[in-house]
Chains A and B, each alone.
Chain A
Amino acid sequence: MLLELDGITVAFGGLVAVSNVSFTMAEGDVLGLVGPNGAGKTTLFNAVSGLVRPTQGRARLLGRDLIAMPIHARARAGIGRAFQVPQPLHELTVRENLIVASRFATGRIDNERIDEILDLLKLGHKAEAEASTALALTEQKALEVAKALATNPKLLMLDEVLAGLETAGKRAFMHTLDAVRARYGLALLIIEHDIETITRLCQRVIVLNFGKLIAEGTPEHVFNDSEVIRSYTGGEAA
């Protein structure tokens, strides 16, 4: 198994943001993670990439215990993460962003791969531009993915990278993600609100609501599940 989550629980004081969530992903899987706002999706991402420490539960990547590793070690182990709000490395150019990711996650600067990634993500013409000031939103989102790819991940976690893009931009970005997957064959874990996007990209979907995993299956199956529909349309009344 590539990723195994077993009973992951994250509590902030009395608030349980993620409650006893378990699932697995095989290599090359594309898994969608959906749920209403505040369902705990980003917190679950944080628990896997190391930004928060789960109160309970276990996480393994290719059999290795992730919970014991600090954030940077998880990146080296193969966890790539794109943030919902783009976080370019400040004061660095686009290329330098990838150089840092390549050097520190893999131990060497793989210039060939960096050029290839810039090409795939259509950032080649902005390679020498300052990342935190000179990029449009789509390019910032592309850089989030590019940075994560430069770490040579086995699992790429995308937190709403398509949110905020207009329809054409979304479609183009989905094609880019297809190309990325075709080239690197990595597994994707995708947080996304847009049901159409999820249906188009993912073979399998899990649904979180109030921190709990309430449904799992193919997009067709999950989006027809009455509990899922209720969680999206407003609880008991629906």
Chain B
Amino acid sequence: MTNAIKLAIFLVLAYGAVPLALGGNPYVIGLIVASLTIGGISVAWALLGNLGGMVSFGHAAFFGVGAYVSALLTMRAGWPVFPAMLAAGVGAAIASVATMPALRLRGPYFALAILAYAEIFRILATELKSVTGGAAGLLSIPRLPMVLGIDFGSKLGGYFVILTIVLLAMTGYQLIRRSPYGLALKAMHDSEDATKVVGVNSTMLKAWMLMVSAFITGVVGAFNAHYINFLEPDYAFAGLWTTLAIVSAIFGGYRTVTGPLLGAVVVYLVDQLLFKAILPQGHQIVLGVLLGAMILFSPGGLMPLLVAKFTRKEASHAA
């Protein structure tokens, strides 16, 4: 099967079969929307990790900033929802500029510094009561609008919006990866001096990747705000947005473009539909065990495992 056919089948399933089969079940659609929301952050996180070489523990910062920017633009400035969501992405990208001094740090130091930034943003959202409503939060955030007869404010409408956001993010990720920028970024990890002496401004490239990653996360955060219509600092900047995204990316295969989304859908749905039923309290512990097992048995994650399995099958068919 060529990649184009695979993509076509996936699109038909995602935009056709899933809504047809599950559209009447708001509970399950709601779970899928939540998993795609985490998938969006996960894609953004993996983009930064893979292309920028940076491990972030602070993506909740961009998620929260995006959520607040879009909510406030629509509520206080009367912006329409979709343009406000784009502006939220820009807002999150601008917020990421504030974290750029952390780019000088490497590895775990960067991860911790950006975690601190997430905390700073959470505190700001709590304390700037006149703007954000403080700890009481924002109520009645406008829902996603009705466009051309399609009610994006419904559960199913929300599904189409977040699905499209995540797929666009993945397309952007793939385009960057294949461009000369992607090549330079790939080379930078192991040969930074060598890339610099051929003219690559590596600091600038990393900064761009941070901004792109923050932009995607901000748009996803904005979507979530308009989807659930409510925000408070402890929710919008919750560390869970980061950890679930990281678990999903690593589980699905953080080195691939599709892995983080696959990981998010599998991890979140299995957790909510299966483990939560068995272990109502502390079911997340199973996620930890699963992640540990995945790292032990397939360090590249679920996606490479599937790809290897299918290629072997196709090869044996061919033979």
Contacts and interface: CB of A to CB of B under 8 A. Distances in A.
A162 to B, nearest CB: 20
A81 B200 CA distance: 13
B187 A100 contact: yes
B314 interface: no
Nearest to A150: B198
Interface residues of A, number: 34
A213 to B, nearest CB: 24
B199 interface: yes
A186 to B, nearest CB: 16
Interface in A30-89: 49-51, 70-76, 79, 81, 83, 87-89
Contacts of B193: 51, 71, 87
Given A72-B202, A87-B191, A49 B183 contact: no
A49 B190 contact: no
A151 B198 contact: yes
A100, A109, A151: residue with the most chain B Cβ atoms closer than 10 Å:
A100
Contact of A83 (B184, B194, B201): B194
A72 B191 contact: no
Interface string B166-205: 0000000000000010011011011101111111111000
A75 B191 contact: no
A148 B198 CA distance: 7
A221 interface: no
Residue from A83, A89, A96, A109 having most chain B Cβ neighbours under 10 A: A89
Contact of A90 (B187, B197, B198, B202): B187
B200 A100 contact: yes
A104 interface: yes
29 contacts: A50-B197, A51-B193, A51-B197, A72-B197, A72-B201, A73-B201, A74-B197, A75-B198, A75-B199, A79-B197, A83-B197, A87-B193, A89-B187, A89-B194, A89-B198, A90-B190, A92-B187, A97-B187, A99-B180, A100-B183, A100-B184, A103-B184, A104-B180, A104-B184, A105-B199, A109-B180, A147-B194, A147-B198, A151-B198
- The 10 A-B residue pairs with the shortest CB-CB distance, nearest first, are A105-B199, A89-B187, A87-B194, A101-B198, A90-B190, A75-B199, A104-B199, A71-B196, A103-B180, A72-B201
Given A91-B186, A99-B183, A105-B199, 15 more contacts: A50-B197, A83-B194, A87-B193, A88-B194, A89-B184, A90-B187, A90-B191, A92-B186, A92-B187, A99-B180, A100-B180, A100-B184, A104-B180, A104-B184, A151-B199
Interface of B: 180, 183-184, 186-187, 189-191, 193-202
Interface of A: 49-51, 70-76, 79, 81, 83, 87-92, 96-97, 99-101, 103-106, 109, 132, 147-148, 150-151
